[in-house]
Amino acid sequence: MQKTIAGTTVEVNEEGYLTDMSQWTTAIADAIAAEESVGPLTESHHKVLNYLRDLQKQSATITIRGVGKSGVVTTKELYDLFPGGPLKKASKIAGIPKPVGCI
């Protein structure tokens, strides 16, 4: 389905996650962050978002552990930056799919 975020029309799934990561912009990130009560986005947030987007481009599995061990931020910092669910919020703001299980 389509949704207009920050003045741009993008493809999203039923939970509001972008389905085409190339449509992402930092303005879209700011708008989704505000919806998710995250931010305003700082350089630390963007470091995490860029890291997640890089992982997604490589089709790598994204886990809290992986981010925590990456040297980008510690796991505690990740929770501080994206309170209440770092993976679901950070992936949504980064314009990539939500990490899921098999059902």
Partner 1 sequence: MNPKHLLILGGGTAGTMIAHHMRRNLAAADWKITVLDRDEDHYYQPGFLLYPFGHYRRDQIVKQKRDFMPKGVDFQIAEVEKISPDAHSVSLKGGSTVAYDLLVIATGCRTAPEETEGMLGAEWRKSIFDFYTFDGAAALREKLATWEGGKLVVHVTEMPVKCPVAPLEFAFLAESFFRERGMRERVQITYVTPLTGAFTKPKAAKKLGHLLGDKGIALETDFAVEKIDAEGRKLICYDGREVPFDLLVTTPTNMGSEVIRDSGLGDDLDFVPTHKHTLQSLKYPDVFILGDATNVPASKAGSVAHFESEALSANLLRHIAGQPLVEDFDGHSNCFIESGDGKALLIDFNYEIEPHEGGFPFAFGPMRLLEESRLNHLGKLAFRHVYWQILMKGRPLLGISRIKKAPANA
Residues in contact with partner 1 by CB under 8 A are 13-15, 59-61, 63-66, 68-69, 75-76, 78-79, 83-88, 98-103
Query: Is residue 102 flagged as an active site residue?
Result: yes
Among residues 15, 59, 76, 102, which one is catalytic?
Answer: 102
> Quick one: 3 or 8, whose CB is closer to partner 1?
3
Say how far apart CA 52 and CA 101 lie, in whole Å. Answer: 18
CA–CA separation, 60 and 52 (whole Å): 9
Shortest separation between residue 72's beta carbon and partner 1, angstroms: 13
Residue closer to partner 1 by CB (options 26, 75) is: 75
Minimum CB separation of residue 27 from partner 1 in Å reads: 25
- Count Cβ atoms below 10 Å from residue 73 Cβ, excluding itself: 20
In the complex, least distance from residue 84 CB atom to partner 1, rounded to whole angstroms = 7
- Calpha distance 90→81 (Å, rounded): 9
User: What does the alpha-carbon distance between residue 68 and residue 71 come to, in Å, rounded to a whole number?
Assistant: 7
State how far the Cα of 22 lies from the Cα of 20, in Å rounded to an integer. 5
The residues carrying an active-site annotation are 102
